[in-house]
């Protein structure tokens, strides 16, 4: 199906309406505004001495192991277990994507490698939007990326986090899914890969990602047949082939290990006790799709305030969530019957996204409700998609009403970049630039918090210095790595960060903290210990060997 044919089918205005493609300058603006903020923030973080700590250190280590005999076949370690078995994320795709960067630059490769992945996700989303509706589709895709980063600065400051990395790709999977659903079936393999990144990075995001991935080609095939266009097999073969490739490692692990990790994930979800439930999830959806949406208020950092904010997140009206689901279904039916297939596809995918998010949130175990501090960010792309769909539907109604009022049956041309379209294009560009600047401003404002390093800049700088000090005294063979002082998040973060950096220098450290054993290895009995002392008032660090 050609772009012209798809445009005619998607608008639903019959043979008298056509879309004039253009707006190359705005297309470029869409890319620059969606991508440059992350480059700016990433460069600032690297110049300030960013190092992988805590969860990011585990991510870095597993990525570094890709080209070794310990290549990971599963994802990051999850905060649940089944008996004595640790449970990991569904797949290692993020580790595999970061394998080359961490080999090139062990100290910061995880950061700039993840940044490249986020830039690719944003660029693909913009191009998918362009495929759907020219520069206006690209602008909406760019705005969706920026709204996510603006509403939750964490995602732009800690792009290596598996949750945030996956969330960016959920936006991309939705955009490419819409391109697929509007009859551009060659986009489906992209949807398969990007949805896989979402699922393997964060299992809790699986329901909306899988729903979009499976529904999009069904809508796309029906749309092409409605337009009397041929549906070839190539897109399906490529998509299935891509799925086999990106899921090969988890399947191999499942088949060669007993019990397999996928089995453990299912058991953990089944045996984790009472869940938050559908009612609470509907309240959360009601809040996420209200005016203003709940996700425009960031979660505070203090523990007590976080608990209060989580309770507030679920205080939205459940009835409004049900109304929004009904509105989305109504828009889909009416738009489909009116021949506005692009709008109908958007409504159906948004409905699938919303139902998937409700299912994901409702299945969170009540005993682990604190994970809402990051899983709650799922409502940002979902809420954004809801309001894009409803605004699109309202605009379509206004357009139809105005056309009927004028009684104009002549050809209506929508031009981009000239005539009446130029002021709108300039306004759109200004809005995108403002959103982009807002992302940078909020990111720089939050840069001194704990988000970029998960433990604060002093911990990052101490990690770099302690790794050098420990390497000078470390023995050959395995040894225990210990940070002097009382246990804390900062001490554990430094311990994991130093452990990873020493591994990249060919050493065999084992952490002293038991919660890190699964990822970093358990220290054997009767091995020497490298003790590290945190920086003193003058910033000096020490490391010494005990028990040689």
Q: Are residues 250 and 114 in the same domain?
A: yes
> What is the predicted pLDDT for the residue at 517?
84
Tens-place pLDDT, residues 346-384: 999 999 999 999 999 988 877 676 677 788 889 999 999
Q: Are residues 178 and 209 in the same domain?
A: yes
**Mutual orientation of helices 341-362 and 379-406 as an angle, nearest 10°?**
150
Tens-place pLDDT, residues 81-114: 777 788 899 999 999 999 999 999 999 999 999 9
Q: Are residues 351 and 434 in the same domain?
A: no
**Mutual orientation of helices 93-104 and 188-201 as an angle, nearest 10°?**
80
Residue 381, token pair as written in the block: 């792309």
Is residue 34 in a domain? yes
Q: Are residues 389 and 480 in the same domain?
A: no
Q: Are residues 92 and 209 in the same domain?
A: yes
Q: Are residues 488 and 396 in the same domain?
A: no
Residue 215, token pair as written in the block: 């529904």
Q: Are residues 393 and 476 in the same domain?
A: no
Is residue 222 in a domain? yes
Report cis status (omega within 30 of 0) of the bond before 259. yes
Is residue 21 in a domain? no
In degrees and rounded to multiples of 5, residue 317 shows phi and psi of -80, 120
What's the half-sphere exposure (Cβ side, CA atoms, 13 Å) at 150? 19
Q: Are residues 278 and 225 in the same domain?
A: no
Q: Read off the pTM.
A: 0.91
Q: Are residues 217 and 118 in the same domain?
A: yes
Tens-place pLDDT, residues 456-465: 899 999 999 9
Tens-place pLDDT, residues 22-80: 578 999 999 999 999 999 999 999 999 999 999 999 999 999 999 988 899 999 888 77
> What is the predicted pLDDT for the residue at 486?
57
3 state SS of 511: strand
> What is the predicted pLDDT for the residue at 424?
81
Is residue 477 in a domain? yes
Alpha carbons 11 and 54: distance in angstroms, whole number: 50
Report cis status (omega within 30 of 0) of the bond before 352. no
- Specify the higher pLDDT residue, 489 or 506: 506
> What is the predicted pLDDT for the residue at 4?
41
Q: Is the pLDDT of residue 16 over 50?
A: no
The number of angstroms, rounded, from the C-alpha of 138 to the middle of its chain's C-alpha atoms is: 19
The domain boundary, picked from 346, 376, 407, lies at 407
The domain boundary, picked from 420, 436, 454, lies at 454
Is residue 337 in a domain? yes
Is residue 230 in a domain? yes
Residue 335, token pair as written in the block: 């738009």
Overall average pLDDT of the 324-328 stretch: 97
Q: Domain containing 385: what range?
A: 273-407
Torsion of CA 325, 331, 333, 335, to 10 degrees: -160
Q: Is the pLDDT of residue 12 over 50?
A: no
DSSP letters for 136-183? HHHHHHHHHHHHHHHH-THHHH-TTSHHHHHHHHHHHHHHHHHHHHTT
Alpha carbons 219 and 203: distance in angstroms, whole number: 25
Residue 107, token pair as written in the block: 């100290």
Residue 346, token pair as written in the block: 């958007």
Alpha carbons 503 and 508: distance in angstroms, whole number: 6
Structurally, the chain folds into a number of domains equal to: 3
Q: Are residues 243 and 362 in the same domain?
A: no
Residue burial 118-132, b: 16+ Cβ < 10 Å; e: rest: bbbbbbbbbbbbbbb
Alpha carbons 276 and 282: distance in angstroms, whole number: 11
Residue burial 241-269, b: 16+ Cβ < 10 Å; e: rest: ebbeebbebbeebbeeeeebbbebbebbb
Is residue 11 in a domain? no
Question: Which among 193, 247, 243, 183 has a CA at the least distance from the CA of 219?
Answer: 183
Q: Are residues 377 and 308 in the same domain?
A: yes
Is residue 4 in a domain? no
66 and 175 Cβ atoms separated by less than 8 Å: no
Q: Are residues 178 and 124 in the same domain?
A: yes
> In this predicted structure, which of 160-174, 457-471, 528-542 has the lowest mean pLDDT?
528-542
Alpha carbons 389 and 334: distance in angstroms, whole number: 13
Alpha carbons 506 and 52: distance in angstroms, whole number: 18
Q: Is the pLDDT of residue 503 over 80?
A: yes
Q: Is the pLDDT of residue 2 over 60?
A: no
Name the β-bridge partners of 546: 529
330 and 338 Cβ atoms separated by less than 8 Å: no
Q: Which residues contact 35 (CB under 8 A, 6 or more apart)?
A: 119, 122, 123
């Amino acid at each position: 199906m050609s772009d012209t044919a798809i445009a005619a089918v998607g608008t639903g205005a019959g043979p008298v309406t056509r879309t004039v493609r253009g707006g190359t300058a705005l297309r470029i603006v869409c890319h620059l505004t969606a991508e440059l903020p992350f480059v700016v923030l990433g460069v600032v973080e690297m110049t300030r001495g960013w190092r992988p700590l805590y969860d990011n250190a585990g991510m870095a280590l597993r990525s570094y192991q890709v080209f070794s005999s310990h290549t990971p076949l599963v994802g990051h370690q999850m905060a649940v277990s089944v008996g004595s078995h640790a449970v990991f994320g569904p797949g290692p795709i993020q580790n595999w994507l970061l394998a080359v960067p961490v080999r090139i630059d062990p100290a910061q490769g995880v950061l700039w490698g993840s940044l490249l992945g986020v830039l690719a996700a944003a660029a693909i989303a913009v191009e998918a939007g362009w495929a759907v509706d020219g520069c206006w589709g690209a602008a909406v895709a760019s705005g969706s990326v920026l709204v996510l980063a603006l509403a939750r600065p964490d995602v732009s400051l800690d792009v290596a986090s598996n949750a945030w990395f996956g969330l960016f790709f959920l936006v991309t999977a939705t955009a490419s899914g819409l391109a697929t659903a509007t009859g551009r079936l060659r986009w489906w393999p992209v949807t398969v890969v990007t949805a896989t990144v979402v699922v393997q990075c964060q299992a809790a995001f699986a329901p909306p990602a899988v729903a979009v991935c499976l529904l999009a080609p069904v809508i796309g095939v029906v749309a092409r047949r409605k337009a009397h266009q041929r549906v070839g097999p190539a897109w399906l073969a490529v998509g299935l082939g891509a799925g086999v490739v990106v899921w090969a490692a988890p399947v191999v692990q499942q088949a060669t290990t007993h019990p397999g990790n996928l089995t453990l994930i299912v058991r953990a979800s089944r045996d984790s006790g009472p869940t938050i439930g559908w009612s609470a999830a509907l309240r959360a959806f009601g809040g996420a799709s209200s005016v203003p949406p709940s996700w425009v208020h960031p979660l505070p950092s203090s523990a007590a305030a976080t608990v209060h904010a989580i309770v507030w997140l679920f205080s939205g009206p459940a009835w409004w969530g049900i109304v929004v689901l009904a509105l989305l279904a109504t828009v889909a039916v009416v738009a489909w019957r009116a021949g506005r297939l692009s709008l109908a596809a958007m409504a159906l995918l948004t409905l699938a996204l919303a139902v998937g998010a409700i299912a994901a949130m409702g299945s969170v175990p009540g005993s682990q409700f604190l994970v809402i501090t990051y899983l709650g960010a799922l409502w940002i792309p979902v809420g954004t998609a809801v309001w894009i769909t409803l605004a699109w539907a309202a605009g379509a109604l206004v357009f139809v009403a105005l056309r009927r009022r004028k009684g104009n049956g002549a050809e209506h041309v929508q031009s981009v970049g000239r005539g009446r379209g130029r002021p709108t294009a300039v306004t759109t560009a200004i809005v995108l630039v403002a959103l982009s600047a807002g992302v940078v401003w909020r990111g720089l404002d939050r840069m001194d918090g704990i988000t970029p390093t998960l433990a604060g800049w002093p911990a990052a700088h101490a990690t770099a210095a302690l790794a050098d000090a420990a390497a000078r005294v470390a023995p050959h063979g395995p040894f225990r790595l210990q940070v002097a002082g009382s246990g804390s998040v900062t001490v554990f973060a430094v311990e994991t960060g130093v452990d990873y950096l020493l591994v990249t220098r060919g050493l065999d450290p084992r952490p002293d903290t038991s919660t890190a054993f699964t990822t970093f290895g358990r220290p054997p009995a009767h091995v020497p210990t490298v003790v590290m002392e945190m920086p003193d008032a003058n910033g000096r660090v020490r490391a010494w060997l005990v028990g040689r």
